[in-house]
Amino acid sequence: MSALATPPQERPPRLRTDPSGSWRAWPLRDRVLLGLCWAAGLALIAIAALIVLYMLVKGVQYLRPELLWDRPEASIDQSRSGGFLDPILGTVLIVVGALVIAAPLGVATAVWLTEYGKPKWLARMVESGIEVIAGTPSIVLALFGLAFFAQGGLGFLSATGEGGAVFGRSLLICCAVLSLEALPLIVGATREGLLSTPRHVREASYALGKTRAATIHRVLLPVARPNIATGCALGMGRVAGDTAVVLLLGGGTLQLTTNGSIPGLNYLQGTGSTLTTYVYANSPSGEGGAPEKAYAAAFLLLALVLVLNWAVDRIARGSNERLGWTR
Amino acid sequence: MDPLMPPPPIRRIVVDAPHVVVPAPEPETNGAVRMRPRVTTDVVERMRVEELTITYGPKVAVNGVNLPVHQGEVLALIGPSGCGKTTLLRSLNRLVELTPGAARGGKIVLDGDDVDAIEVTSLRRRISMVFQQPNPFPMSIFDNVAYALREQGSKRVKRAELMAPVRNALERAGLWDEVGDDLDRPALRMSGGQQQRLCIARALAADPEVLLLDEPCSALDPRSTATIEELILQLRESLAVVIVTHNLQQAYRIADRVAFMYLGELVEYGLAEDVFERPQHTRTAEYVGGAFG
């Protein structure tokens, strides 16, 4: 149909490489780079496998079933220092608590940034705020948390001593500070999900006479659900693996203690330990209490994080199959 | 507008149209065949665009367009890429307002009311739209259609109450026979053609008066395209249909009236036969003859 004249035929350009695509015919430089790429990938696999295998061998060697349900006791004698029930429960408490705080905040922040984001200067400030939190080392966060929550007015959140002295330490405070570590991950993942939703999907909802709020609630959040789940799982991994915050703010007791009178909440207001602080306290570089138990606990922690990573992978893969819009 | 006021009642205008088959003359410019009998009675004007100008920053996308939209007819907007036809379409349901930097001049009237005076959510329920890419929401087939019927964001209305209108919409979109037995299937698992018909069903669910279609077949195979074209021809009896298309043959097959746009201006508007076979302007003649595009 086109009335344009057909352009004159050009001679095909001379190819530097074999069009059949075999790497053997590539120039030396390309072959070296290809080799480096392969080496980098393989090295990464080797390192990951080494870590998992080492911890598996060391951990399984010392892991006894009763360690999972025995409470730890402070004892120099290895046979009487108990298991790590309390650190396991502490880890679970902290992960759940931090997520309960971080997930709504993170999702709300991401929705505001992508769907509203006005005024622009405020959105930019929110973004840099998130970046600052994401970049702050956890020990600094812990130190800040200690100073912040030791104020008398916030005493109801933390373990208190005789006469109402505020220590600024409790599992609840750990949750609050650790939620800051999970927050940037949840915001990032949720934003990614919202941004990757094609514009015409939002417009389809507006074109049905829906408000922005209804569109967010009924279309965009369900679309971003796999991304939110990914962010939460990443955040959980991060929280479960943090040592510094729990070390400074967890109160440093091996066993879970209660504080206050409301059942359930009193554990959060009390002090305790997690698998990470347990490993630290028992590792050869810590107080050197029980390296065998440190290895067993470390293996348990690694397994927990690996399961979380696997879950992230599954969620991400499922979402790719589910949403098939053309852009 | 008082937020407590009930939305204005939908005006249904029944056009009593005897269908007289006027055989279209064999086209000379292309091989397409006009598919349907022409409605020969007077049709009802539902919308009118007056001196519409839309700018994106310094760029003028639509420039001083005047155009009526009739119920009982399919109006096709044709023209080369970037001529402003999609912008014109999106301005009819005020969707163009969502584009940052877009500004509108002139007037758009729906049944005598300025669209700016109608609350935007109720306006968009009366003038619904189907997009270029099939974009069902990631929910079940039933929920996709029910979404259009429910109150803002609410899930309160029972499924049983919504079943009748949902079924009606799916039937009008010609999808009921294919999906009626499994309404809980995720909508995004359907084929592209089915997805697009679901989008049409969704657009029809709230019983709109005007249906806007933005190149609804450009992502579909010929068979799905034919199904949707037949559907459009059935729908035009009860509502005004405006379709943007790049496909001249499609415009020739289904349109009653054609508006040819070029560089934001309306060059020619008239009955499809006239525009395709007796174009008044050189540009129109060149375009429908396939000289540029």
Nearest to B245 by CA among B293, B195, B191: B293
- Looking at residue B13, its pLDDT comes to 63
Asked if residues A166 and A249 have their Cβ atoms less than 8 Å apart, the reply is: no
Quickly state the pLDDT bin for A147 (edges 50, 70, 90). Answer: confident
d(CA B176, CA B212): 22
Nearest CA in chain B to A203: B95
**Interval A36-61 mean pLDDT:** 92
Q: Which domains does chain B have, with CATH numbers?
A: 42-288 (3.40.50.300)
Quickly state the pLDDT bin for A40 (edges 50, 70, 90). Answer: very high
Q: Is B244 on the interface with A (CB under 8 A)?
A: no
Contacts of A214 in chain B (CB under 8 A): 152-153
Instruction: State the smallest CA–CA distance between residue A199 and chain B in angstroms.
Output: 10
Nearest CA in chain A to B211: A207
Binary contact (B128, A208; C-beta < 8 A)? yes
- Looking at residue B23, its pLDDT comes to 46
Looking at the partner chain, which of B129, B135, B206 has a beta carbon nearest the beta carbon of A325? B135
Q: Which pair of structure tokens corresponds to residue B102?
A: 């877009």
Percent of the residues in chain A that have a pLDDT greater than 70, as a whole number:
80
Binary contact (B121, A327; C-beta < 8 A)? no
- Looking at residue B27, its pLDDT comes to 43
**Interval B57-78 mean pLDDT:** 91
Looking at the partner chain, which of A1, A209, A222 has a beta carbon nearest the beta carbon of B138? A222
Looking at the partner chain, which of B133, B139, B290 has a beta carbon nearest the beta carbon of A326? B133
- Looking at residue A87, its pLDDT comes to 86
Binary contact (B125, A209; C-beta < 8 A)? yes
Give the strands of the sheet with B74-78, arranged side by side.
B127-130, B210-214, B240-244, B74-78, B257-262, B265-271
Q: Is B123 on the interface with A (CB under 8 A)?
A: yes
| ipTM (interface predicted TM) | 0.82
d(CA B92, CA A53): 64
**Interval B155-165 mean pLDDT:** 82
Q: Is the pLDDT of residue B166 over 70?
A: yes
In Å, how far are A73, A91, A239 from A157, measured between CA atoms? 26, 19, 19
Local structure of residue A260 (DSSP, 8 states): S
